[in-house]
Amino acid sequence: MFNPDFEVPSVVFQLGLILFVYSVGISSGPAFFETFKKNGFRDIGFVLFSLFLSALFAVLIYFGLHLDKATIVGVYCGSTTNTPALAGVTDLINRLGDADKGQWVKDLVVGYTYSYPMGVLGVILVMKYTEKWLKVDYVAEKNSLRKQYPVDEEIAGKAVEITRDVAEDKTLRDLVKEMGLVLGFGRVYQNGKVSIANWDTRLHKGDILMVIGGVNDLVAAITFLG
């Protein structure tokens, strides 16, 4: 039976938030730092501009619709699909010790709940519009990114025995630059021992190296190395 006085324990909210942030960090963390090294300042500038624009719209909605402060903060967090921001504001409200903090948290969550779907749908709609407006050529984009990412390729791996003089006493870093291919490496068998290959690993004839990459690059690497 429905109980209007039922409240979800706060620990459920905190546990869900922890699992969400942890999962996002594990799945997107490496790609984030790799991208940050290449386009950090440009991306940060774009993010700051987007946040400022979203905040400006939130202020206009606040004065235009006369919403309470907690609700508009929730709307702002939801419009950017920023769950950690919601958690930060919730924690701040709980620390204030005000008698109305329970109602503030409820209003915050309500605003977030209503704006979050629009934050997702809005991004999709904007992307569909801008790709037509900017006349995005995905084929050209794929070709331009091929050297950075194995786009639209089947990834395979192969153990390659080093037999050619061109690879003798050279590091993997130098060989990849020389080949101009997008490759990864696993284990390497050298002098009767198996170890994890790194960019400073030097190859010699008779070594067996696990090479990973797109099928075309992998075939080219096998031809080059052995």
Between 32-36, 174-178, 196-200, the lowest mean confidence (pLDDT) is in 32-36
Pairing of strands 155-161, 193-196: unpaired
Q: What domains lie within the chain, and their CATH numbers? A: 10-136 (no CATH), 150-225 (3.30.70.1450)
**If you write DSSP's letter for every residue of 134-195 in order, what string do you get?**
TT--HHHHHHHHTTTS-TT--EEEEEEE---GGGTTEEHHHHHHHHT--EEEEEEEETTEEE
Q: How confident is the model at residue 89 (pLDDT cuts 50, 70, 90)?
A: confident
Quote the CA–CA distance of 78 and 111 in Å, as a whole number.
7
Rounded to 10°, the helix 69-79/83-96 angle is 160
Mean pLDDT for the chain? Answer: 81
- Give kind and range of the element (H or E) at residue 202: strand 202-203
**27-84, pLDDT tens digit by residue?**
777 777 777 777 777 878 888 898 888 889 888 988 888 888 888 888 888 888 887 7
Q: How confident is the model at residue 7 (pLDDT cuts 50, 70, 90)?
A: low
The sign of the dihedral angle between the CA atoms of 93, 95, 98, 100 is positive
Quote the CA–CA distance of 123 and 131 in Å, as a whole number.
12
Contact of 159 with 192, CB cutoff 8 Å: no
pTM for the model? 0.48
Rounded to 10°, the helix 69-79/101-133 angle is 40
